[in-house]
Amino acid sequence: MDFLKSLTVAASGLKAQSSRMRVISENIANADSAPSSPGAEPYRRKIPTFRQQVDRETGATVIEAGRVQRDTAPFRTKYDPGNPAANARGEIRMPNVNGLIENMDMREAQRSYEANLNMITATRRMISKTLEILKA
């Protein structure tokens, strides 16, 4: 087993999942932000993407964060006639962010991050044990 490849793959996973969690956090933070003027577009949900790359030093296939895309799902509407951004029917357009989906995505990203972290820990232990065997 190539320890360097294992560490490279796991480190790329940590970085990608960290980037994913930042995007999800931004979505959660803006889930209830309404536009300030009539006709203004509310916050549009962002979707993180990933791409595979070959690390030239190790030859390992790694993952990295790709472009952040905008979700084309329709905006939610909310009845709030007192809001300055309300239309003639008293409705305002709200972000197309679903808190339940964002929380599930965040949980998945956290678990993937933890799995990569466990992979680094296990690899470090294997390196340590290998060095102990070689010293004996």
Model pLDDT, residue 1: 55
Which of 49, 45, 61 lies closest to 6, judged by CA? 61
How many structural domains compose the chain? 1
Residues in the chain, overall count: 136
Whole-number Å distance between alpha carbons of 27 and 97:
7
Whole-number Å distance between alpha carbons of 20 and 130:
34
Beta strand 69-70 pairing with 46-47: antiparallel
Report the predicted TM-score, pTM, of the whole model to 2 decimal places: 0.87
Whole-number Å distance between alpha carbons of 31 and 3:
42
Model pLDDT, residue 119: 96
Whole-number Å distance between alpha carbons of 89 and 38:
12
pLDDT in tens, 95-128: 999 999 999 999 999 999 999 999 999 999 999 9
pLDDT above 90 covers a percentage of the chain that reads 81
DSSP letters of 78-127? Answer: EE-TTSTT--TTSEEEE-S--HHHHHHHHHHHHHHHHHHHHHHHHHHHHH
pLDDT in tens, 9-36: 999 999 999 999 999 999 999 999 988 8
16 contacts 133 by C-beta, under 8 angstroms: no
Domain containing residue 25:
3-135
pLDDT in tens, 37-59: 888 899 999 999 999 999 998 89
